[in-house]
Structure 1
């Protein structure tokens, strides 16, 4: 059997960790193993199996070093930054990024904060296979507006069962909440993280939508030279201000009620004649006249300001499309886009 070198200074990090785990005993080591992923457990187990006999002086020196490091600053401070720095020393960068993203979550630090950022349709699809009482507990913990949206897309009979349980629900015991939270974390959030990876072309289309016009043209031209197929696919997925021509009259009128007049005037300064005509055709004669006067009064405007105004209005249009308040059609009869 292999024997660890007598010189403490020759020990590697994994060897120190392996000695430490063996010295802690089964109960304490088991708790630490529960916090590790499979790869870490495999690496540490392999090192432990190959340690051989460890000199008692080395074990003592190891614990002294650990105690010195722990007490050197007078206290131990845990933070996202310190955790990330520690992980970077032992794990690949992409793995560290994944772990830190899971720790921080989409937004907020608690499970309930994270659920508040999950689309209501996704949540409802998961909840319809759960007990109404479980769903009632969850909906009582997330924001009321988000809970309302989830209820509205659940099957009506099931939603009523949930509502009745919420009405009769008393204070939820901590162990019940802990169990629900643990289940959501392991069965739902983990699966969601695995399945929510977006198509790379969709991601790039969103990024290109947020570039200013000169940068967009520059990058798109360069991409066309390298990969014309990808460039064309991104173009098809992009939704620009000029694409508002695909919104019907009722949709444009809905959009007009949601946007700031000054912002619209700025955006129309750089719009095509076709898009301008579409907006003016859906305004009253008086409103259209006032809008034209506002545009003339602006004089020359910066292209950057026009791009920002157009991007803001496109964002509103997408939100309205996602909520079903307006429809955005494609180039053919069967090409209607659903957001």
Structure 2
């Protein structure tokens, strides 16, 4: 029997545990690319740039940056804050909040700032780091995705600062490797000072990795991930995410969870830190953002899609949440 490594997600081949997960991931809008290929030999270690410097280089207009590293060969550790994990060939490391981090191999080595290993941008070709003392070799393919989705709001506690996903043996693992190789091959120079990398494949890759992580990671005591595993909260979340336009009341949601309104309200507050109806409003605003950004639907149509009978009522709620009217927000949205 194969034993799961303690710092990795368990049973990564399992199915999604709640409808809320699928609906949430379907809504996530991601933009990004592979941007770095690295070859490290023992002994080696580096420290990344600060989060704001990474964002300024990769996506200065993005609200949030998600970093990921595909371990093409070898193995390494990665540390963000007090969290430290190991990753091995075929694994994918994710830093969902773009935290400054450190990475290294099996042998002890002095931390080197990554700015000493790669030329400053703009880059005329994909940066290629070769670093270390000539021992055992590890290869990493690094990418980023820009996103303003609430799923990546650190306050929701959906993800740890750094985590490793081990795709199961078979098609998924082979797909991750083939996708990384294909992006490397298709990244090319566009102008004297700019390179272009396919964006669709990194998006699909990260979505798959997030599904594997969220569906099978151990439950936590509080936060969004805990809610997905909570027998009281999860059915109500699935109902909200599945039909945000429905005229949900607390009693309706309690029936979905087969508990009393009081029990559902108390459990929601304990796990997510807010009342069910407040969560419903927040999710409606999130869906509205997606519709305003990605469709040509009128504000009235968007209002109806997210459960408001009138444009006026929707606009008031949207302005309370965003500080501006939906029509104004739409024009300024990235």
Answer whether TM exceeds 0.5 for this pair: no
Greater RCO (Cα-Cα under 8 Å, separation 6 or more): 2
Structure having the larger proportion of residues in helix = 1
Q: Mark the structure with the bigger radius of gyration.
A: 1
TM-score by length of 1: 0.29
Structure having the larger proportion of residues in strand = 2
